[in-house]
Each structure stands twice: as C-alpha cells, then as structure tokens.
Amino acid sequence: MQTPNIVQTSCLLSLLFHACQGNWFSICQPQGQVEAAVRSHVTLVCVVSSEIPHGPVTWYKETGSDHRHFFSSSPRKGDIHDRRVTRTNGDQANNFSITIRDVRVSDTGKYYCEKYTKGEWDKPYALGQGVILTVSSGSTLHPGSAIVQQRSPVKALEGSDVVLTCKMPSITSWDLVRWYKGEGSQRTHVYSGLLKAGDRNDARVTWSGQNPGIEFSIVIKGVKINDTGKYYCIKYDDEKGDTISKEGPGVTLIVTARNVTIIGPPGRVNVGEVVELQCEANNYNDGTFMWMKNGEAIPQDHFTIAGTGTWHTSRLTLQTEKGDIRSAVQCVQGKNEEQRMSEVFNLSSVITGMQRVKMLVHH
C-alpha cells in the first residue's frame, strides 16, 4: 500500500528528471525540509541528471559532527544500511530516492545524496544540497487542536465526484486515519490506508493526495443518492484502530438526482397559435439543450438557453399546426450521450380539441 506522500513524490519525480537535465552532472534534492510523525513512512528525493559517470550513489546522514553511511544499493565492505530503508523507484536509473519506513525520533538529521565514481571513494564526485528530516510525536504538535472538516454540507449531483476534507492538527501517519459514514450501530467503514479485519474500502474512494501527513481528504467518484449522509474522519492511537485519539466533527454529504422537467403554458391554445414550453434541468455544469418534435430536431432559433451552476433552463416558442394534437415535443439535455436526460411533452395536453365550425343557415 502506497502512502500519500509516496504517491505525491512519484508525480514530482517525473518533473525532476527534466529539471535536472543539463550539460553537466548534478544531483537534485528539492525537498529542503521534511516533517514526519513517529511510525510513519517518508520518502527522501534524490534524482541525478545522468547515468554517466558510472559509479554508486550513496546516502549519508549528518547529525552534528557525525557523518555516517545510511544507504546504498551497492555498499562498500563494512557499510551497513538500515533495514527499514529501500530505494523508492529502483527501476528508474536516474532516481535514487529512498523510503524510510516506521521512522523514529532518532532519525532526525540531515541526509545527503552523494555520487562517487568507480574506485574513488575518498571524495564524492557530486554532492546534493541535503534534506533535513524532523521526526516528532504527532501529539506534541498543536496539542488539543481539532480535526478540521467542512462546516457546511457538501452538495453534489448524482454521478459527480466530490471531495470530503480532513485536516489534522499535526503530522500524522497515514495508517492511523480512517473514514466512516454514520453514527453508532449504523456506522460503516468507508476508506482507510490500513484495513482492520472485516473492513473493506469503497472502490470509488481514494486519498486526495494533497499535503500528505496533514491532509487526509478523500475523493468519492460517481456519487449515488444513497451516499447521502454524515462522514467522519477519525484518528486512532495506533494501527490496531481500537482506541480513538481524535474524531472530526463530521461533514454532511447531500446527493441529489439529475432530472429534467418540461413546464407547459397555464392554459390551452388553439391550433395555429404559439405555445411556449420551458425545460428545466439539474445536471452538472452542462447547459446544452436540444428540442425535438416527433423525432425531428427543432431549429435553434426557436429556443433560448439560460442557467448558472447546475441549474439550466431552455424556453421553446413553437407555432402549432394542424395535427399537432397527436404530436410530442421532447427536451434533450446534456452534451454527453451517456449522461443525457430527456422529457417528452404531449401537445394534446395544451391544444384544444374543439374545431371551429362555420355555421351555414339555409333559408
């Protein structure tokens, strides 16, 4: 299972490969400073601009005057690296980033990525600028602070994607945070990085990937009507998930159905008179409309379109004709064929059925 900070770092690395290219060899350590909670996993980034000259890349940790070997894929005789450390993307030749799992307070220090050439260990060929890692107990930062979730209800249309926010008051390990829906006996597990026995993640849900270590917001794709409810972001004391450390206030999600409705005139009209129909739709930010009569498209100069946000309207002006008492008008809303909505309006409901008869008087 990848942690959010590892996922975000992998995206950053693709950009760094281009940024590190040049006419000379260079080492990129772009992070500057990294903060982590005890028992969390962190990635320290190191990208080199070229595979040449050949030779190993080694990580060193500096604490005060102590500068000691920390990790290398090709260690020298006598070098020992921490078993918690692995190369993050070993299949990428220019990427020498490392992941430290289950970090401790004693891991605090400055880490350097250094390039050596074959057979020359006395002096590094190139040296990264270093990254400072600070490991703290999450409870010591901003004590008593609360988990932040959206105060106002989150409203969404059926089928759309929504983000439910969760911000921790301090750096927190991803395996201590879980999302639940509902309360008491009705509470159900929604998503977590480390599952408890019997729990399942909703396949539509992922971490947002923003501000890892602090933000544990989730994205729910293609929400459904039954997703409506209150969602809680909860931090536990340990990965077992038996004791709650902090619980967010909860955020209410309201999912409404997409729909389209045609509104006719207040009274009836006679054949040959103009009828006005209004089509109202609740459908994302798509304000596309099409009108049809008996399966044939009505020219666009016969109707207008207006709307904001997810609420859209179209007003049709139509001259009725002989035989329209058996005609049907259809409003089609939406550009995407798979998500289009439509409603049919029978003109018989507004056209008077009485025909005017000329009376002939015979003398």
* pLDDT score recorded for residue 137: 66
Which CATH superfamily does the domain covering 4-136 fall into? Immunoglobulins (2.60.40.10)
**Domain boundaries along the sequence of the chain:** 4-136, 154-256, 259-349
* pLDDT score recorded for residue 309: 73
Measured distance CA(173)–CA(160) in Å, rounded: 30
* pLDDT score recorded for residue 278: 96
Q: Dihedral, CA atoms, 56, 93, 61, 65, nearest 10 degrees?
A: 50
Short-list 307, 305, 303, 280, CA closest to 293: 303
Q: Which pair of tokens denotes residue 235?
A: 């931090």
* pLDDT score recorded for residue 192: 94
How far CA 188 is from CA of 89, 115, 200, 230, in Å, comes to 36, 51, 10, 11
* pLDDT score recorded for residue 90: 64
Short-list 172, 133, 128, 104, CA closest to 43: 133
* pLDDT score recorded for residue 145: 64
As a whole number of Å, the CA-based R_g of the chain is: 32
Q: Could you say which architecture CATH assigns to the domain 259-349?
A: Sandwich (2.60)
Contacts of residue 81, Cβ cutoff 8 Å, sequence gap at least 6: 59, 69, 70, 71, 72, 75
Contacts of residue 63, Cβ cutoff 8 Å, sequence gap at least 6: 108, 109, 110
Q: Which pair of tokens denotes residue 63?
A: 């604490």
DSSP state letter for 45 = -
Q: For 233, phi and psi rounded to 5 degrees?
A: -100, 120
pLDDT (tens, 9 = 90+) of the chain, 363 residues, equals 444 444 344 444 444 444 444 446 788 888 888 878 788 888 888 888 887 888 889 999 987 777 788 998 777 777 887 889 998 876 677 889 999 988 888 899 999 999 888 777 777 888 888 898 988 765 444 444 689 999 889 988 888 899 999 998 877 888 899 999 999 888 999 999 889 888 999 999 999 887 778 889 999 999 999 999 999 999 998 878 888 888 999 999 999 888 899 999 999 999 999 999 999 998 777 789 999 999 999 999 999 999 877 789 999 999 999 999 999 999 999 887 777 889 999 999 999 865 544 444 444
* Within this chain, domains 4-136 and 154-256 share the same CATH topology: yes
Which CATH superfamily does the domain covering 154-256 fall into? Immunoglobulins (2.60.40.10)
Within a 10 A sphere around the Cβ of 194, how many other Cβ atoms?
A: 16
* pLDDT score recorded for residue 218: 96
Query: Scanning the structure block, which residue is given the tokens 């290219």?
Result: 21
SS3 category, 64: coil
* pLDDT score recorded for residue 329: 97
Q: Using an 8 Å Cβ cutoff, are 298 and 318 in contact?
A: yes
Within a 10 A sphere around the Cβ of 141, how many other Cβ atoms?
A: 15
Q: Which pair of tokens denotes residue 216?
A: 């544990």
Measured distance CA(229)–CA(239) in Å, rounded: 26
**Mind giving me the DSSP string for 314-363?**
EEEEEE--TTGGG-EEEEEE-SSGGG-EEEEEEGGGTB--PPP-------
